[in-house]
Structure 1
Amino acid sequence: MPSVDTPCRLHYTTSVLIDGHIAIDTGGLAYLRTVEEQRQVDHILLTHSHIDHIGGLPIFIDNTYQPTPQCPEIYAGSATWDSLEKHIFNDLIWPNLDRIGGTEAPFYRKHVVDAHRSFTVGKYQVTPIPMEHIVPTLGYLLEDETGSVLFAWDTAPFPEFVKMIDSISNLKAIFLDASFPNKLGWLAEKSQHTTPSQFGRMVEQVPANVRVIAMHLKPGHHDELIEELQQLNLPNLEVACSETLYEI
């Protein structure tokens, strides 16, 4: 498990793969090893419409499509679906896949999700949590009988965060935004992201047995962000690394 001072690959885009078949965001999903491994991903949870989170989706669908009734199940808020359908799957940037696939051989199956309304994906109960970002954005809480994990990136600090954390039963880990160094606090504020100092205040009450994993570090400031995160002296802090398998 990489610690905060262990070098890891830069966070160019965002996607997390869970159990080999559930993805949260698709920034890098289209470039996951083999096509057969990509075809194992049958559920995709989208947080929001920004390109580093949805940019791999059209390529992933193109890579894995087979003309059968089986297709990936894609979950996103209504604002994200609106952006995808108006600006991506519009026959200009990418083909309108609903028009081409129809109902007999669809490219994907659309699910519109709402904040705080839970649904089931595989063995997990999934609860969308509203984040504080410049477009409507959802974090996701995944729960099963062994515990809970919160995925909360692309967000500014918000007052309800600590209360929300306290309300989660058997919390095992938090994947949390840490985008810009402290000197760029003005940029974090305008783009609604988080700095290491804000990150530290958000998690200072989190119990030490809950893993806190920093996500979404801007590549151009990676080393400075690592240093500032390290200065928080949080014993449970890690930096997300694409080469790491997190067993939680």
Structure 2
Amino acid sequence: MQHVSGGLAMDIDILGCSGGVSGNPRNTGTTCFRLGEHILLDAGSGLSKLDLGEQRKITDVLLSHAHMDHISDLPGFLANLFDHIQAPVRVHALNETIEVLKDCIFNYQIWPDFTQVPSPEKPLLEFVVVEPWQSFKLYNYDITPFFVEHSVPTTGYAIKDAHSHLVFSADTTYSQALSDSLNRLGHIDTLIVECAFPDSKLDIAQTSKHMTPSLIQMMLDDLEEQPKKIWITHIKPAYEKQLRHDLRSKGEFHHWRVLP
């Protein structure tokens, strides 16, 4: 786990930020960030860095989409909470994401339906549908979901507290719609953006709707105001060396930080 400030006043821990798994000790596990003590942003394998006491403090999970590397530790995390929470954990996600989780995971075949277990009156899990551009408040954070372009329905999250504005663009590729969304959000202190593939794999990136360094640069060129900081995440371990080379070749690399 890595606690990051980097000019960001918001209390955030990087639990996982890799685009895959490997034996490299730098690999943190797949996508999961913790905001304060009570909120998770995605629930990939990085979630396993939290001990049981820390897990029991989580009340809300913001999911970007239903791909395995973003939900893999959610079932096991919930199974740790019997007798240790007073209210169900709220999982916030697009309706399409919730339906996939209900049909494919919490279906009594892959995992119990924790919206009914241990009882319908006192479940472990509550699903909360989010809608793009319909903001809501959790603790001291104002949260705004916004659509991004990926291979399945996906939402990014803009998160504000009293001091800073963090934007997590989730898994996505370059599109005018994404640039328009980021411009609509206004001033951004820190933008977390994925970069799964090097420029040499542009065809794969576009087919799977992921980013390359050049696609990130195209997105940034569209913005009316540049983010103060850019955090690069979701690097595929097989391409890490080439990706770091490609990212360093960009003129604005001093504003870019490859996580962790």
Q: Do they fold alike, i.e. is TM over 0.5? A: yes
Deviation, structure 1 residue 183: 1.0
| Partner SS, residue 157 of structure 2 | strand
1:48 to 65, 72, 77: 65
Deviation, structure 1 residue 215: 1.1
| Partner SS, residue 231 of structure 2 | strand
How big is each residue's C-alpha offset from its partner over 1:69-102, in whole Å with a ceiling of 9 and x where there is no partner? 4231110110000000000001111112223223
- 8 A contact 1:12–1:218 mirrored in 2: no
- Unmatched segments (≥5 aa) in structure 1: 242-248
- 1:145/1:67 CA distance change after superposition, 3 Å: closer
> Whole-Å Cα distance in 1 between the matches of residues 246 and 37 of structure 2?
32
| Partner SS, residue 223 of structure 1 | helix
| 1:62 corresponds to 2:59 | no
| Partner SS, residue 100 of structure 1 | coil
How big is each residue's C-alpha offset from its partner over 1:1-55, in whole Å with a ceiling of 9 and x where there is no partner? 799xxx9823641111111321111002541231001112211000000000011
> Whole-Å Cα distance in 1 between the matches of residues 149 and 61 of structure 2?
21
- Structure 1 counterpart of 2:139: 122
- Unmatched segments (≥5 aa) in structure 2: 7-23
**Identical amino acids, percent of aligned pairs:** 27
- Structure 2 counterpart of 1:246: none
| 1:185 corresponds to 2:202 | yes
> Whole-Å Cα distance in 2 between the matches of residues 37 and 29 of structure 1?
13
Q: Which has the higher contact order (CA 8 A, sep 6+)?
A: 1
Deviation, structure 1 residue 220: 0.9
- Structure 1 counterpart of 2:257: 238
Alignment of 1:1-248 (within 5 A): 9-10=26-27, 12-66=29-83, 69-204=86-221, 205=223, 210-234=228-252, 235-241=254-260
The alignment's TM-score, normalised by the length of structure 1, stands at 0.88
- 8 A contact 1:178–1:195 mirrored in 2: yes
- 8 A contact 1:118–1:128 mirrored in 2: yes
> Whole-Å Cα distance in 2 between the matches of residues 2 and 127 of structure 1?
21
| Partner SS, residue 215 of structure 2 | helix
> Whole-Å Cα distance in 1 between the matches of residues 230 and 47 of structure 2?
27
Deviation, structure 1 residue 66: 2.3
> Whole-Å Cα distance in 2 between the matches of residues 166 and 137 of structure 1?
18
- 1:173/1:59 CA distance change after superposition, 3 Å: same
